[in-house]
Structure 1
Amino acid sequence: MRKVPVTKAVGMELCHDITRIVPGHEKGRAYQRGHVITPGDVPRLQDLGKEHVFVWEPDDDLVHEDESALRLARHAAGPGLSWGEPNQGRVDLRAAYNGLLKVQVDRLTMLNNLDGVIMSTLHNNRLVVEGQKVAGTRIIPLAIQRSILEHAEGICSRPGPLITVKPFQPLWVGIVTTGSEVYTGRIKDGFCSVLKQKTSFFGARVLGQVIVPDDPEVIAMEIRNFISEGAQLVLVTGGMSVDPDDVTPTGIRGTGAEVVFYGAPVLPGSMFMMAYLGHVTVCGLPGCVMFNKTTVFDLVLPRIFAGDRLCRGDIAGMGHGGFCEDCEVCRFPACSFGKSTDMYGVK
């Protein structure tokens, strides 16, 4: 790589993209790598603040920024990811399908500790959709030492890829609605339509809904009935507070399920319960799930449908970032809600 005055570079080939910025309006590529400089380019390059340009001279010890970014992307990307061509030295990774983004954050930090190498991603355990940009990578200099790049490639690919997207599984779902006031017809249930809407995105197949009184034995029986019918996820709505008539937690425990937690450090959604009966997830949903647009349920739902089995530590870590700001215009999941640094361990 050699530095040449623009006025003496006519006929030479650019070894890097050159960016044009119009403040507040545009930032894009003015010249592409490989462009052969013409006499008419000289004043344009000077207008872009370029008195010198770099031209490429092969060097076995150096790897060009474009090739480096492509190599990093290929080594980092696991199942569910694709990448494009370099643009201004950068290569982006996109989700190949709807799913749950998984990032090996400790290794990502190791990678970014290398001199001249960067990789940035969306948050781990983030719901992503097909075609969405989820990460980008580049090197800082125009060329990097081959040994540094090979070290970076090792961090990206071993053990296992740095970034993956887990596809959602179309789970069979049963809905048990509790509450004597609903069971007797005094009020109309408002939960079922909300749950169908929230789970349909993930491909849920709803087995049905049963409405039961505030009786823990009946609640437990209906949960077991759904599981015997093939339910892979049972959602139990209402009766989750500390009122004497709210017995849904007792009913869930009565199935013999292993309760992971009852009481999540997330607002709204603190009275949420999660349990496992074998491989079946059972969730006790407080009333806020019916009334609030975004709750703890929206944090755990993508992980359930991606096949994650959550532990108590996963939920405890949600406290940092678990306070919803209840914005007038909700942008979840493109916001800070649930993006705790304590949630980043991949399972």
Structure 2
Amino acid sequence: MKFGSIPIDAAEGAVLAHATAAGERRFRKAHKLSADDVFLLKAAGISEVVAAVLASDDLSEDAAAEKIAESMIHRNIEAKAAATGRVNLHAQAAGIFTVDAAMIDDINAVDPTITIATLAQHAPVEKGQMVATVKIIPFAVSSMLVDSVARICAGGEIFAVNVYQPVRVGVIQTVLPGIKQSVLDKTLRVTEARLARSGGRLTAERRTPHEVGTVAEAAASLARDNDMVVIFGASAMSDFGDVVPAAIEKAGGIVIRAGMPVDPGNLLVLGTLGGKRVIGAPGCARSPKENGFDWVLDRLIAGLDVTAKDIAAMGVGGLLMEIPTRPQPREPLPAPKSESAELKVDIVLLAAGRSSRMGGPNKLLAL
């Protein structure tokens, strides 16, 4: 492809780089000029245009993006029609997005003219949400480059939406003197809402003393009739031999991991009992805000395995937003200022307007 200024007499078949007006007629960017278009431009006194001229082995931006998207192997994802050199790919169901990062990197390393961007690994997605986009940067690219990308895509599944399953979940809440009934009730409501978001269903609850034996008995009972068991301890896990991990083992289960490098969520326990997963929920799971519990719960509901190695790899990006109601915040809250403290703000100006200068109804959406 050649790009630059082209004499108008040689512009037939070229692709305009910029919007161009010829009298009352306006040609949009990326418009392919016909003989009639060239006649109108000449009549308007235009002697040259900035445009791209495709070589015989070039593919147009839309054709290239479409061919790359068609060569991809994926699950529960739909590619939309190509436009402006872009193909967007959307989830066909709610679930957890997984991607072969090495394959994406290999594609993006072929040539800067061909790009693909995706959501983060294990991102939760809703039905219809965009999960990836293929974008061709110039107006055309060599078919050889597109073929190179297609060969990479033939290597296996590039990404997928792992669909949430209608799992049944049993909940255990342990009780110590002084714990409020309202706290337990709120925890149950938050958990029901969290499960509903991903298609899960809370089927049973047991409230037991915070003791190894009673928790083990309740866990064994719930594991027989449910797909998963979640245990909320009245006291957070503070040792691998504490009540929740010890109860999992006493019931005949295995503790896969106690503790995770995600905060909030450090004190999570993950185990298995009778072929069912058991999660010892950290205290932050009583809050609806995102925490490490969500990272594990959502993956399990989507049918993905979660191993000790998987949890160990969650540290990068695992520092999440602080929860205001947290009993022990990471850092102390700033000391309240005295009423006599001098205000730093002298004037507040509220400017009315529609932000229309940037185009569209909202300047934040202008691009």
Alignment pair present for 1:153 and 2:154 = no
Query: How many Å separate the matches in 2 of 1:43 and 1:233?
Result: 74
Whether the 8 Å contact between 2:240 and 2:258 is mirrored in structure 1 is no
Q: 1:132 is matched by which residue type in structure 2?
A: Q
**Equivalent residue for 2:245, pick from 246, 249, 252:** 249
Amino acid at match of 2:267: M
Within 1, Cα distance between the matches of 2:16 and 2:230?
55
**CA 1:35–1:151 in 2, change beyond 3 Å: closer, same or farther?**
same
**Alpha-carbon spacing, 1:168–1:18, altered in 2? closer, same or farther (3 Å):** farther
Q: Is the 8 A contact 1:183 1:213 kept in 2?
A: no
Question: CA contact under 8 A between 1:6 and 1:42: conserved in structure 2?
Answer: no
In the superposition, the TM-score normalised over structure 2's length comes to 0.75
Residues 309-342 of structure 1 deviation map (CA, whole Å, 9 limit, x = unaligned): 11111111111111113399xxxxxxxxxxxxxx
Whether the aligned pair in 1 keeps the contact of 2:91 and 2:131 (CA below 8 Å) is: yes
1:78/1:161 contact within 8 Å kept? yes
Change (3 A) 1:55 1:263: same
1:91 aligns to 2:92 (yes or no)? no
Residue in 2 that maps onto 1:132: 129
User: Between the two proteins, what is the percent identity of the paired residues?
Assistant: 25
* Alignment CA distance shift 1:184-1:165 (3 Å): closer
Question: Quick check: 2:17–2:52 contact (8 Å CA) kept in 1?
Answer: no
Instruction: Note closer, same or farther for the CA distance 1:223–1:62 as it changes in structure 2 (3 Å cut).
Output: same
Aligned residue in 2 for 1:305: 301
Q: Distance in 1 between matches of 2:279 and 2:68?
A: 40
Higher relative contact order (CA 8 A, sep 6+): 1
**CA displacement at 1:279 relative to structure 2:** 3.3
The answer to whether the Cα contact below 8 Å between 2:54 and 2:140 also exists between their aligned partners in 1 is no
Check whether the contact 1:112–1:118 (CA below 8 A) recurs between aligned residues. yes
Alignment of 1:39-50 (within 5 A): none
Cα distance, 1:299 vs. partner?
1.4
Structure 2 equivalent of residue 263 of structure 1? 259
The structure 1 residue matched to 2:51, chosen from 28, 44, 53, is 53
Cα pair 1:16 1:142 within 8 Å, conserved: no
Match of 1:335 in 2: none
Distance 2:118 2:311 in 1: 22
Q: In structure 1, the residue corresponding to 2:127 is in which secondary structure? A: coil
| Rg larger in structure | 2
In structure 1, the residue corresponding to 2:205 is in which secondary structure? strand
How far residue 254 of structure 1 moved from its aligned partner, in angstroms, is: 1.6
Q: What is the deviation of 1:31?
A: 3.7
Q: Offset of 1:42 from its aligned partner?
A: 7.5
Distance 1:101 1:188 in 2: 32
Partner of residue 120, structure 2: 123
Query: Per-residue deviation at 1:32?
Result: 4.9
Inter-partner Cα distance in structure 2 for 1:8 and 1:254: 86
Instruction: Give 1:1-347 correspondences, 5 Å limit.
Output: 5=6, 7-8=8-9, 12-15=12-15, 30-34=28-32, 36=34, 37=37, 51-56=49-54, 59=56, 61-115=57-111, 116-158=113-155, 160-181=156-177, 188-229=184-225, 231-238=226-233, 239-242=235-238, 247-291=243-287, 293-326=289-322
Q: 1:185 to 1:320 in 2, by over 3 A?
A: closer
CA distance in 1, matches of 2:265, 2:106: 35
Q: Distance in 2 between matches of 1:15 and 1:192?
A: 61
3-state DSSP of counterpart to 2:68: helix
What is the one-letter code of the residue matched to 2:249?
A: R
RMSD: 3.2
Paired residue total: 311
CA distance in 2, matches of 1:75, 1:181: 61
The runs of 5 or more residues in structure 1 that have no matched partner are 21-28, 329-347
